[in-house]
Amino acid sequence: MNRFHPKYLLIKMKKSLLGHGLWAVVAVGAFVLGSQGISERGEGPDGNVEGPGSKSGRAGAGVEAGGVEGGTPRGSRIRELREGGETIVLTDAQIEALGRQFRESNNPIERRLAFGHLLEGLTAENALLMREQIAHLDDDSAEFREFHYAWGAIAGGPAVVHGANTPKQDMAASLAGWASADPEAALAWFESVDIANDPELSALGGDGDRNVDGVRANLLIGMVFGLSDHDPYAAADYVSGLAAKGNGKATWMMGMIADKVLKADGPEGASAWAANLPAGPARAGALAKVAGIYAREDPVSAVTWLESIPATKDTSQSYRRTFSTWAGQDPVEAGEYLGRMAPSADRDAAISGYAPQVAQEDFAAAIDWANAVANPGMQQRAVIQSAQIYYHRVDKEAATEWLANSGLSAEAQQEVINPRRR
């Protein structure tokens, strides 16, 4: 059988990927944005997030596919896919055959292997034909984003610009890949591009799903995602700068970076990193992310770590998340610890995380805890969230009866019944 026949390629991939555990490399980033409710076309609750700079620029300016920075080829991570350093060269016919296998096979392993081999053979020159093979995918699918991440890592600016002329949301994933492989070039493009006036991006802009601010917001998240793949500490410095300028997504983005630091350095290293970030919302996001992961492994140690950090408003979210996690594991132990805590803003935050979690098992106890919160606004929020759990997940009839005698305002009762999306 010809060594480049599609069936041979799939057999070889099965031996290579399954035998040597290389699929973790084939899954090049699994770039996930959909759950954040922000689209490249400006849809979502926070389309008015501005990135740094708005000077005129061109995506292709000074960027060549396969460019080199500091002796490291762009897309070096993607080129790790080549088995034993051997570059896989696919003809157009082989690409189309693998594409058919990916689209038509009912076997999920064969589909994944076909997709992986397409990525192995991806180049800046064949990327458009490759994209035709995955064009049927939803733009929130893992493979769709992985392909564009890989394309961006190899081709840079042209891969990002291509997305401006497609109906799907692929620009952010491509920019993430570019930033992971060549962060300086990707950042230079992002900080200089004028989305509204760049002729290469003329399909964007206007109203509705072409909102320029929304596109830039989504690109910013892709930029930070890629930077954090390349160097999470450098990405943290960048997001700290955004936070200082008042960027509303800095808290969430720092939490995303914290995920990468946790994977690299574990809870102990990540906790030291987060505690030493500049004070502010971005630090709060990182602390909360680390605390939540830490609490899954050892909630007592997570709380001990939080108590070692001087109390500021940065730690409130961390206490909330930690005690929510702990209550899900052992509500009795978590409650006993709460009972020993001195009154403070952090204790209020801890209770606001604890009470809704225990509402599924003991609603009366949850309300008692929620009413123990000293801060009036936080207290009402804890009561409402506990009641929402009871109403929607436990016993709607009993919850309705409780609401009628709860003393909550009509507006608050309505929020229990129809929670607002946040």
Residue-wise pLDDT for 14-53, tens only, equals 444 333 333 333 334 444 443 333 334 333 323 333 333 3
DSSP reduced 3-state for 68: strand
Report pLDDT digits (tens) over 398-420.
Answer: 999 999 999 999 999 999 999 97
Query: Cβ contacts of residue 378 below 8 Å, gap of 6+?
Result: 348, 349, 352
Burial of 103 (0-12, 13-18, 19+ CB in 10 A): middle
Q: Amino acid identity, residue 67?
A: G
206: its two tokens: 């206007």
pLDDT at 151: 96
Reported as a single tens digit per residue, the pLDDT across 311-357 is: 788 899 999 999 999 999 999 999 999 999 999 999 999 999 999 99
Residue at token pair 């971005």: 282
Q: Select from 302, 287, 31, 316 the least CA-distant residue to 150.
A: 31
B/e letters for 354-386, b = 16+ CB within 10 Å, e = fewer, are bbbbbbbeebeebbebbebbeeeebbbbbbbbb
Q: Could you tell me the pLDDT band of residue 289, with boundaries at 50, 70 and 90?
A: very high
Identify the pLDDT of residue 215.
Answer: 87
When the pLDDT of each residue in the chain is averaged and rounded to a whole number, the result is: 81
Q: Position 169: which residue type?
A: Q
259-272 pLDDT per residue, tens: 999 998 988 899 99
Q: What letter would DSSP give residue 2?
A: -
**Distance from C-alpha of 128 to C-alpha of 131, rounded to nearest angstrom:** 5
Its pTM stands at: 0.72
163 touches 174 (CB < 8 A): yes
pLDDT digits (tens, 9 = 90+) for 150-180: 999 999 999 999 988 888 889 999 999 999 9
pLDDT average, residue stretch 106-128? 95
Tell me the per-residue pLDDT of 205-239, one tens digit each, with 9 for 90 and over: 655 445 788 888 889 999 999 999 999 999 999 99
Burial of 265 (0-12, 13-18, 19+ CB in 10 A): middle
Higher local confidence (pLDDT), 354 or 71: 354
Identify the band that residue 365 occupies on the pLDDT scale cut at 50, 70 and 90: very high
Specify the pLDDT at position 60: 33
pLDDT digits (tens, 9 = 90+) for 290-304: 999 999 999 999 999
Q: pLDDT at position 197, please?
A: 80
Segment among 4-18, 140-154, 247-261, 342-356 with least mean pLDDT: 4-18
